[in-house]
Amino acid sequence: MEQDHKQIELETVLKKVDDPELPSVSVVDLGMVHEVKTDNQHVSITMIPTFAGCPALDIIEKNVKEAIEQVDWVESCDVTFSFRHKWSTNAITAEGKKQLKKHGVAPPPESYQPGEEWSVDCPYCGSLYTSMENVFGPTACRSILYCRSCRNPFEAMKPVIDYSVV
């Protein structure tokens, strides 16, 4: 019971740690938190990195550690990134998708075949009438699109999925 309470408390804290490049979208809602373990006053968190070259990973690690160490019963916290589990854009939660849209970033498309073209609806007006401007955006995880209905440029989370090699 005590343990469950602690776990919920930690999860609540983690839901407030945002991606530095996507304010209001938490690392939990991005699907980056794999496991939270407690051993008395010590907390170990295993996270799943988004893109390999993402320069924000170090900042995220630091922010998570600091936030957890703010909890009064926590003495220390270590954060490790694991490649054993693959991050995919399918891991983004419904709340994460909602927050992304608020931020003007379209969630990744629901169906995507690696290497194929894809499209998403406009996060502002919901129109399907959008075009890809550049699959590579300001960060590795985002693409740049344009809405032909409301004439706004916008970004989208680039779909990344795990696919098995036959």
Residues making contact with other proteins (CB under 8 A): 49, 51-55, 83-84, 86, 88, 114-115, 133-140, 144, 158, 160-163, 165
Report the candidate in 124, 136, 20 with the shortest Cα–Cα distance to residue 32: 20
53 contacts which partner out of Zn ion, other proteins, none, CB within 5 to 8 A by kind? other proteins
Q: Do residues 125 and 147 make contact, with C-beta atoms less than 8 angstroms apart?
A: yes
Identify the residue among 122, 141, 156, 157 touching Zn ion (CB under 5 A): 122
Check binding of 124 to Zn ion (CB under 5 A).
yes
CB of 12 to other proteins, least distance (A): 29
Name which of 13 and 61 has its Cβ closer to other proteins: 61
Q: How many helices (H) and strands (E) does the chain have?
A: 3, 9
Report the candidate in 62, 9, 58 with the shortest Cα–Cα distance to residue 36: 9
Stretch of residues binding Zn ion (CB under 5 A), selected from 1-9, 82-90, 113-121, 123-131: 123-131
Check binding of 81 to Zn ion (CB under 5 A).
no
Mapped onto helix, strand or coil, the DSSP state of residue 69 is helix
- At position 139, the amino acid (one-letter code) is T
- At position 51, the amino acid (one-letter code) is F
Residues near Zn ion, by CB under 5 A: 122, 124-125, 127, 147, 149-150
